[in-house]
Structures are given as structure tokens and as C-alpha cells.
Amino acid sequence: MMTTVVIQTIARVVVPFLQLFGLYIIVHGPVSPGGGFQGGVIVGASMILLALSYDLSSAETKVSHKVRIAMDSTGALLFAGIGLLCLLAGGVFLEYGIIPLPMVPAEVRGLMILLVGVAIGIHIMALAASLFLHLAEEHDT
């Protein structure tokens, strides 16, 4: 299924801005509306736009199944890793302030909230793209 050149050109122009907006929402999660989930969904939607405007195989070459699985696992492991780091430092799960870094505890908390947001963003962007691509791929039935 090939779409017209108008759709492909518009998609090629829009996708970078969409991804930049998604990253903006992810990294501004601690201070403004939004966060890892919302930004991740927007970046995932940009990948879906690529798959819709070109064809599925070209999107599959950009973000292949293995890349999506790797991103998915990276996000989940980063999230769990930060939580377990707090456990190792002697606190409870996701008690950021206890992590021994050479900073004020408030700064450590801010940094860890940002990192958790980025982890959730990576996880959700792979998940959103996977949902669409797995549903849309051809099955021989």
C-alpha cells in the first residue's frame, strides 16, 4: 500500500517536530503538565505516523522488532533499577532522597524523578509503536 507524495512529504516534515515536542514533554515532566507517559505516547505516535504515511516495512526498518524489544526492556529495567538502588541505599522502593550522591537531597530527588520519567518515556514509546505495528502487520490466515 503506497500513499501519495503529499502525505509522505508532510509526514517527513512533521515527524521531527512531533518527536521534539514529545521529548520536551518528557524532560519537562517534573515542572510542567505531562511526563514520561504522555511524552512517550507522542513519540510513539510519530513512529506510527511514519508507518501510516510510508509503508509498514519501512517503519519496520527504522524501528525493528528487536529495537522495540530492547527499548521496552531498557525503560522497564531503568525504572526498576532506580527503585532497587534506593532499596540498596537503605530506603524504601523509589525513596530518591536516600541515594548517596554529592548533591543536596532535593537535587538528588529532582534528578531521579527526571530519570524515572525518561525511563517511562522510553518504555511507553516502544510500547505504543509495538501495539500499532503488531496489529497492522500481515498475518497469513
Task: Indicate which single residue of 25, 59, 120, 122 sits in contact with another protein (rule: CB under 8 A).
Answer: 25
Does position 48 bind another protein by CB under 8 A? yes
Where does this chain touch another protein (CB under 8 A) — which range of 44-52, 58-66, 86-94, 104-112?
44-52
Beta carbons of 62 and 75 less than 8 angstroms apart: no
Beta carbons of 99 and 112 less than 8 angstroms apart: yes
Does position 10 bind another protein by CB under 8 A? no
Closest alpha carbon to 129 in 19, 7, 10, 32? 19
Task: Indicate which single residue of 5, 33, 66, 100 sits in contact with another protein (rule: CB under 8 A).
Answer: 33
Does position 135 bind another protein by CB under 8 A? yes
Does position 2 bind another protein by CB under 8 A? no
Closest alpha carbon to 116 in 72, 73, 83? 83
Beta carbons of 3 and 13 less than 8 angstroms apart: no
State which residue, 41 or 108, has the beta carbon closest to another protein. 41
Q: Report the Cα 64 to chain-centroid distance in Å.
A: 15
Point out which residues bind another protein (CB under 8 A): 25, 33-35, 37-38, 41-42, 44-45, 48, 52, 128, 131-132, 135-136
